[in-house]
Amino acid sequence: MLKVVIAGCSGRMGHALLDGVFSDPELTLHAALDRGDSPQIGRDAGEQFGKLTGVKISHDVVSALQGADVLVDFTRPEPSLQYLAACQAVGVSMAIGTTGFSAAEKNLIESASKTIPVVFAPNMSVGVTLLISLVQAAAKVLDEGYDVEIIEAHHRHKVDAPSGTALRLGEAAADALGRNLETCAIYGREGVTGERDANTIGFATVRGGDVVGDHTVLFAGIGERVELTHKASSRATFALGALRAAKFMADKKSGLFDMQDVLGLR
């Protein structure tokens, strides 16, 4: 069985990941990590599920990785990079679903992947991964006369905007259209903005309530609109995708992958 370490195990995604591991006969929970000031430290990782696993929630990353196969991380950039460095030091693969990395931090991830396998994706959902491929296909057909806009909605606790998934969808559209997202993205409109530049890709962000994650890519032409939408109703979809990514890396020695690689869409 694949021995899995879950980072941020007391959070919303951590809970979904633990549930996914406990439900999969091909996986076993090797260790569970949380921040040092978490009240969950020292408790059994299965306690919240009404079961005792013998795995105590810890903040000791080095010990947690001993004998492990893969670490799955949905935390924040700073701790995620610390986990990455630890994984690289002991040769453990890593699935990274964390978002909000800077360009320099993404370079660190790419560098680490030269020695360990890393699946890095802003959204681990199988459905969103398919959506990325559909956006690429649509953009190649709707390359003239259609304006591209990306609308995303998330819960009130999300700290980065636009979402990593929205940015990945924008990259998919921009690549297919032969554009550079860094120069053509518009992240907000206010006041007298003038007419829309046909070469731009717009983003609109909604934050509120407990929205798990909604994404729509809109191709607006004259007389018609094409809308490609994915709505997540449970974090389980991200957890199941991440654990699928963990299995994908089982026979890999190194390399940087995303969910399109995991699903064989390349």
Domains and CATH numbers, the chain: 2-120+235-262 (3.40.50.720), 126-232 (3.30.360.10)
Active site residues: 154, 158
pLDDT of residue 201: 98
pLDDT tens digit string along 106-138?
999 999 999 999 999 988 999 999 999 999 999
What span, in angstroms and rounded, lies between the C-alpha atoms of 120 and 142?
Answer: 29
Unique residue bearing structure tokens 């990079």: 81
- Report residue 221 CA to chain centroid gap: 30
pLDDT of residue 134: 97
pLDDT of residue 100: 87
Q: At what angle do helices 164-177 and 126-141 cross, to 10 degrees?
A: 30
- Parts of the chain with a pLDDT under 50: none
Tokens of 201: 């890709």
Query: Prior bond to 25 cis, omega within 30?
Result: no
Query: In sequence order, which residues have a C-beta less than 8 Å from that of residue 228 and are 6 or more positions away?
Result: 131, 134, 135, 138, 216, 217, 219
pLDDT of residue 142: 98
- Report residue 130 CA to chain centroid gap: 14
Q: Is 42 left (phi over 0), alpha (psi -120 to 50) or beta?
A: left
